[in-house]
Amino acid sequence: KAGVTQTPRYLIKTRGQQVTLSCSPISGHRSVSWYQQTPGQGLQFLFEYFSETQRNKGNFPGRFSGRQFSNSRSEMNVSTLELGDSALYLCASSGSGASTDTQYFGPGTRLTVL
């Protein structure tokens, strides 16, 4: 089975712009979670999607949004970029998102905001 893929791997944007990141989960997985990793805050949960519905959300401002398509692929969008949004964005997929499920992570998208 192919692993979780994320595109693009690297991205440079300027303040005020918006960005869309893409995640393709492992075939058959229906839950996709997104995380932000920064040196200061570590790994933080953004949100989780299952069957095209957002089921769970972390403590991030409304500038961070996402969606999931019928094939379980997911995108996350950050609008009005700020310098502090520079981070590694990771997505992870699992079968159902249950507490016994293993999450499989992609390699991440490195976003730099100038």
| Contacting residues toward other proteins, per CB under 8 A | 4, 31-33, 35, 42-45, 48-50, 55-56, 58, 90, 92, 94, 96-100, 102-108
Q: Kindly tell me which of 18 and 54 has the beta carbon lying closer to other proteins.
A: 54
Name the residue nearer to other proteins (CB basis): 55 or 63: 55
CA 54, distance to chain mean position in Å, is: 12
Which one, of 26, 13, 18, lies nearest residue 74 by Cα?
26
CB neighbours of 82 closer than 8 A, spacing ≥ 6?
Answer: 15, 113
CB of 65 to other proteins, least distance (A): 16
> How far apart are CB 8 and other proteins at their closest, in Å?
15
Q: How far apart are the C-alpha atoms of 94 and 113, rounded to whole Å?
A: 30
